[in-house]
Amino acid sequence: MSEPWPEELRLASGGGELHVRFDTGEQAALAAEYLRVESPSAEVKGHGPGQEQLVWGKRKVKIARLEPVGAYAVRIVFDDGHATGLYTWPYLLKLGREHCKLWPAYLEKLRAAGFSR
């Protein structure tokens, strides 16, 4: 069985959300802030386990544009200048599927560190 394939990527809410629809029928509305703080870039994820960086203060970030990267990913350019993360189709699907786990975990990390969105 093949991996789910995105049929549509659409910016909404003035760049505040990315709507993704996969050929499996799965859909996700991913907030720009969520995408920014979960960026797959080395700046956020590091180069290995334990090197992750906590990103905060991105509540008002917007998606400026989307740039296709081959047939496997999209580069999301944010209005804060961040543009180094390549969001593969499996990673976008994971962000949609695991939002209920990832977002609360991020908010707890912020609280524990004394930072705000």
Q: Crossing angle for the helix pair 99-113 and 89-97, nearest 10 degrees?
A: 80
The pLDDT value given to residue 3? 86
Domain containing 36 equals 6-113
Is residue 108 in a domain? yes
Domain of residue 46, CATH code: 3.30.2020.30
What pLDDT, in 10s, does the model give residues 35-85?
Answer: 999 999 988 988 878 889 999 999 999 999 999 999 999 999 999 999 999
pLDDT at 47: 82
This prediction's pTM: 0.94
Q: CA of 18: how far to CAs of 4, 56, 95, 96, in Å?
A: 17, 20, 11, 11
Of the pLDDT bands very low, low, confident and very high (cuts 50, 70, 90), residue 33 is very high
In this predicted structure, what is the pLDDT of residue 1? 59
What is the pLDDT at residue 2?
79
Q: Is 1 a domain residue?
A: no
β-pair type (27-31, 17-22): antiparallel
pLDDT at 94: 97
Domain membership of residue 13 (yes or no) is yes
Q: How many domains does the chain have?
A: 1
* CA 68 from centroid of its chain's CA atoms: 15
